[in-house]
Chain A
Amino acid sequence: MAERMTTRQLTVRFGNAEAVRRVDMEIPPRSVTAIIGPSGCGKTTFLRALNRMHDFTPVARVEGSVRLGDREIYGNGMNPVELRTRVGMVFQRPNPFPTMSIRQNVTYAPKRHGLARGPELEELVERVLRQAALWDEVKDRLDHSATSLSGGQQQRLCIARALAVEPQVLLMDEPASALDPTATQKIEDLIYDLKQEYTIVIVTHNMQQAGRVSDHTAFFYMGHLIEYGATDDLFTNPRNERTEAYITGRFG
């Protein structure tokens, strides 16, 4: 189910500005890969290139190759709409659909794609809400508005919503940055559980968080991938001096 993602010479430009520069990176399946780096270093831009979210930005140009398994996602054979059902995304701020109920938020995408209906759909709602560690909190009020949930619950609902289309890869763009410590803790536990089944890429500002949840860490700086390796190695024994400077808090 989980798939490997590979980038080769991936470059993203906005007009004349290069936000991501010739990045070669291999993201292994069933693991958490954290992307760290100072603001403006291209972390989020890189992440959004992995499910072609730059398609909607007219000035953005993507060059190089990104593969999901062995399929080229920027190639002719890949429909971007289908790609986004395989590579799900969770955003920085919880963004459930406010006009829909909790249940509708989860069923929206599977219904659109004809993945399930009737009792199957009910099972799917329960399954993904359990996966997102939200079921016990919302099972009695599935038809309440999604906005009745707390921020942390909303973010877990967004994760459940992304899981409902059964993606192979889950991209998370600072998923806990708008949450309090307790809610952050829950999201981190959740990420830890989810990596059994998914390939997870998480962008984070918070180095402690990267250290806690990830197996691999990539350090980006000025659009370049500076260093990439096992999280423990990278934090205890950085090979690049800029990595060391960043993780020891000397800049960023």
Chain B
Amino acid sequence: MVEPDLRRVPGPPVEAGGAAGPGRAAGRSGVARPESGRAAAASPWAAPLSPRTETLSPLAGPLSPRRGGHRPPAPFRLRDRLVQRWFRYATGLVAALVVAVTLIVAHQLWVGSQSTWQEWGLSFLTRTEWNPVRGEFGALPFIAGTLLTSLMALAMAVPVSLGIAILLSEYAPRFVRDPLIFIVELLAAIPSVVLGLWGIFVLAPLMQSRILPAIAASPLGWLPIFGEPGPGYNLFTASVILAIMVLPIIASLSREVLLAVPLDQKEAALALGSTRWEAVQHVVLAYGRSGIFSAAILGLARALGETMAVTMTIGNRVALTFDYFEPGYSMTAIIANELREAATELHVSALVAVGLVLFCLSFVLNAAARLLVLRLGR
């Protein structure tokens, strides 16, 4: 916006006037220039287009000798212009940095995993063997472990979070709401390694002795995803830990979404003879559905990337399994566990390749979710 004006001043007169902006040129012409009375009398937009406006620069000169009076006074112009330009560059730089870091990470992952792709190509994604000693690597057990635990965590956390969000935004009186919000936020602040410890010392033994047998005995035990109850370290235990970790994210975001639903929507439903619950169910949740969906996706992204708590509870056994009661492995866990001890170049590259797959998976899931939110939100 600024540079073009600089060049325009010595240029054709019409442009000099054009740069002034119609309102200002017309306003000043009425006061300071007798000969432009015609232009001023016409529509203000006509003035800068009139050939006579070439006289504008010399006449207005005293106000700002360097560049014509149709510009603001110098102090404003110079300092603000510099600050503004600097600010624009700074924000642009920061934004570019984010993009650059993402691209650099992707590039490094790609370069670092070349040996793996050369060895197996895309079949790396579907191979189930992982044996560093024999130099056999395949990512499927880890992909499955990550997806299974994350989705189960989401399946458990979303209903609970929504319940909390509805309670907090619609029903809870103040003396319940404020402490509950505090506790939910506190839950988000627990370091994942602490949750992992709790998983090892409390949840896993409890799973083994009580919870898994109870689920197996209940009607849920008939689901094909639940097999024979076994040791306490398994996909299910890891899912529960993940659910606890994503719950505060989804709950607090959903609460914001529900609070943002306009009051008149709720009142419209109530005034039609809906009960409070019907109004929440049919109107408030419907209105907030895309927001709730994004909250769930953010929770999923958190679950996909979680490392410590999962590594501590998932069982760390390389095996492709769809039985939640069996130990498994996740992409994050295998990288955390083996990268330091990886002896061969192929082993390292396989681990980096797993990282690249995780990167792409998060990317694809996020992009898909964003598209869905756009469609839901219309």
Cβ contacts under 8 Å, B269 to chain A: 97, 108
Q: Shortest distance in angstroms between A54's beta carbon and chain B's nearest beta carbon? A: 11
Which of B275-283, B300-308, B355-363 is the interface stretch? B275-283
- A162 and B270 CA atoms in complex are apart in Å by 11
Contact of A108 among B262, B264, B272 (CB under 8 A): B272
* A108-141 CB contacts (< 8 Å) to partner B: 108-109, 112-113
Interface-central residue, B265, B273, B278, by most chain A CB under 10 Å: B273
Closest A residue to B290 by beta carbon equals: A99
**Contact call A93/B264, Cβ cutoff below 8 A:** yes
User: How far is it, in angstroms, between the C-alpha of A56 and the C-alpha of B287 when the chains are bound?
Assistant: 20
Q: Which of A5-13, A14-22, A27-35, A83-91 contacts B (4 or more CB under 8 A)?
A: A83-91
List CB contacts (< 8 Å) of B265-315 with chain A. Answer: 265, 267-276, 278, 282-283, 286-287, 289
Which chain A residue shows the least CB distance to B262? A95
A98 touches B268 (CB 8 A): no
Residues from chain B with a CB closer than 8 A to the CB of A102 are none
B270: A residues at CB distance < 8 A: 53, 56, 84
- Could you list 15 further interchain pairs (A-B, Cβ under 8 angstroms) beyond the known A95-B265, A158-B268? A56-B267, A56-B276, A58-B173, A81-B274, A84-B270, A91-B267, A95-B267, A97-B265, A97-B269, A98-B287, A108-B272, A109-B273, A109-B274, A161-B268, A165-B272
Size category of the binding interface on chain B: 20 to 34
Least Cβ–Cβ distance between A73 and chain B, in angstroms = 13
A-B contact pairs, 28 of them (CB 8 A): A53-B267, A53-B270, A56-B270, A56-B276, A58-B173, A81-B273, A82-B273, A83-B273, A84-B270, A84-B272, A91-B268, A95-B262, A95-B265, A97-B265, A97-B268, A98-B287, A99-B287, A100-B286, A108-B269, A108-B282, A109-B273, A109-B274, A113-B273, A145-B378, A161-B268, A161-B272, A162-B272, A165-B273
A51 an interface residue at 8 Å Cβ cutoff? Answer: yes
Residues of A within 8 A of B272 (CB): 84-85, 88, 108-109, 112, 161-162, 165
Sort A-B residue pairs by CB-CB distance and give the 5 closest, nearest first. Answer: A85-B273, A89-B271, A109-B272, A95-B264, A99-B286
Which residues in B have their C-beta under 8 angstroms from that of A88? 271-272
- Complex Cα–Cα for A88 and B378 (A): 30
Tell me the bound Cα distance from A56 to B277 in angstroms. 13
Cβ contacts A57-99/B at 8 Å (1 or 0 each): 0100000000000000000000001111100110111011111
Interface residues of B, Cβ cutoff 8 Å to A: 173, 262, 264-265, 267-276, 278, 282-283, 286-287, 289, 378
In the complex, chain A residues whose CB is within 8 Å of the CB of B267: 53, 56, 89, 91, 95
B209 to chain A, nearest CB (A): 46
CA distance A69 to B153 in the complex (A): 55
- A51 to B265 Cα, complex, angstroms: 17
Please, how many angstroms separate the alpha-carbon atoms of A112 and B264 in the complex?
Answer: 19
Bound complex: CA A98 to CA B265 (Å):
9
What's the minimum C-beta distance from A46 to chain B, rounded to whole angstroms? 16
- Output the nearest chain B residue to A145 by Cβ-Cβ distance: B378
A157 vs chain B, min Cβ distance (A): 11
Tell me, in angstroms, the Cα distance from A93 to B268 when the chains sit together.
Answer: 11
Nearest B-chain residue to A171, judged by Cβ: B271
Which of chain A's residues have a CB closer than 8 A to the CB of B273?
Answer: 81-85, 109, 112-113, 165
Q: Measured between C-beta atoms, what is the minimum distance from A45 to chain B in Å?
A: 14
Complex alpha-carbon distance, A58 and B268, angstroms: 18
Chain A min CB distance to B265 (Å) = 6
Q: Which residues of B contact A92 (CB under 8 A)?
A: 264
The interface residues of chain A lying within 8 Å CB-to-CB of B268 are: 91, 95-97, 158, 161
Which residues from chain B contact A109 at a C-beta distance below 8 Å?
272-274
Residue from B274, B276, B286, B289 within 8 A of A112 (CB atoms): B274
Instruction: Note all chain B residues with C-beta closer than 8 A to A161.
Output: 268, 272
Q: Which residues of A contact B275 (CB under 8 A)?
A: 81
Query: A99 vs B287: C-alpha distance in the bound complex, in angstroms?
Result: 6
| Interface contact A53-B287, CB-CB below 8 Å | no
CA–CA, A166 to B174, complex, Å?
A: 37
Residues of B within 8 A of A98 (CB): 287
Contacts of B264 in A (CB 8 A): 91-93, 95
Chain B residues with CB under 8 A of A83: 273
| Minimum Cβ distance to chain A for residue B271 (Å) | 4
Interface residues of A in 145-186 (CB under 8 A from B): 145, 158, 161-162, 165
- Contact residues in B for A81 (Cβ distance below 8 Å): 273-275
